[in-house]
Amino acid sequence: MPLHKRWSEEAIPAEQRPSWPVLLQEQHGIVTRAQLFAYRHTKADIVANLEAGRWQRVLPRVYATFTGPLPRNARMHAALRYGGGHAVLSHRTAAEEWRLLPIEEGPIEITVPYAGSAVSQSPLVKVHRSRALPYSTAEAWPPRTKPTDTIVDLAVSQPTARDAVSVVVDLVSRSKVPVSAMRDCVSMRPPFRFRAEIQRGLELVDGGLMSALEVEFKEQVEERHGLPPGDRQTAIEVDGKTLWEDVTYDPHGAALTVRLDGRATHAMASVAFRDRRRDNAAELAGRVRLVYGWQDVRNSPCEVAAEVRAILVREGWRPAARRVTCPVCS
């Protein structure tokens, strides 16, 4: 990474600095007071440009050399410049930059060294601190935490242990981050919260679970209601293509498929067509299908379990003993 791309307050020789237009281009029009002074602007220049409405103050000692709303790239660079030369994008913002999560409105999240002086500035920037920043930063521009560390940071920041497991399952399963790399990250930089839950989430992904909804179904419907563990992500052939069913129970003597519909993309025309073809293929094969969403599994797990149990028994499953641990049913 070129030296000037990580320069903010640190002094570097004038001959190593980019030209003023290049600096503005790379920082999306954002500059710090130290940079302005280095390029021979004075305090009077800064005041004059602010009062004339040509520039605007974004954060303490950070300015935009234009007026109007700040685009996302400008907001990110303002947050990084405010955080100092070692600040990196992290948490939700880093996840968005790695395309682990969709971009949403909200503060830019950065992590700075533990002894850094930057503090959160609502509503633009949320500041985190880390002693392990040199080990968790990726070689990327804008600078950000590695995908593995980003996922761990997001899990640690969740309000509950249950949410931490869901974040790990969702993000690891939808990304190209190997479970082994995640385990190495947790081992080398043990999280201060939810360590056991993060490891549990990695075990679930390694076992074939692909979403938080699948975790919810396994724990709240199957395990708590004495149902047999279904096979996860079973491959089927439809129109010459390999598709995947969420849960099947063939090893237990029941031709039952459970689909867990937890994503907005199921409303897309192409996905709806694919699901219709999959339904038709299941009907021709004589399979029973049950479909559940977030509201069903999270709010009515007992009713879902009763339906699944009824179909399993009807289709041939013979439970040896009913081991119900659900506090509502038992």
Question: CA 169, 213, 225 angle in degrees (round to 5)?
Answer: 115
**Confidence at residue 273, expressed as pLDDT on a 0 to 100 scale:** 58
Q: The whole model's pTM is what?
A: 0.78
Per-residue confidence of the chain (330 residues) as pLDDT tens digits?
443 455 554 456 666 778 999 999 999 999 999 999 999 999 999 999 999 999 999 999 999 999 999 999 999 999 999 999 899 999 999 999 999 999 999 999 999 999 989 999 999 999 999 999 999 999 999 999 999 999 999 999 999 999 999 999 999 988 889 999 999 999 999 999 999 999 999 999 998 888 889 999 999 999 999 999 999 988 887 777 787 888 999 999 999 999 988 654 444 455 555 666 777 777 777 889 999 988 899 889 999 999 999 999 999 999 877 778 888 886
CA atoms within 13 A on the CB side of 248: 11
Residue where the block lists tokens 């969403």: 293
Q: Of all residues in the chain, what percent are helix, strand and coil, respectively (each to 5)?
A: 45, 15, 35
**Confidence at residue 15, expressed as pLDDT on a 0 to 100 scale:** 67
Q: For the CA atoms of 262, 267, 271, 274, what is the dihedral angle to 10 degrees?
A: 90
- Total H helices, total E strands in the chain: 14, 10
CA atoms within 13 A on the CB side of 71: 8
pLDDT digits (tens, 9 = 90+) for 51-82: 999 999 999 999 999 999 999 999 999 999 99
pLDDT digits (tens, 9 = 90+) for 79-111: 999 999 899 999 999 999 999 999 999 999 999
Dist. CA 110–CA 94, nearest whole Å: 8
pLDDT digits (tens, 9 = 90+) for 191-214: 999 999 999 999 999 988 888 899
Bridging pattern class, strands 125-130 and 231-238: unpaired
Which domains, and CATH codes, for the chain? 3-145 (no CATH), 149-206 (no CATH), 212-315 (3.40.960.10)
In three-state secondary structure terms, 288 is strand
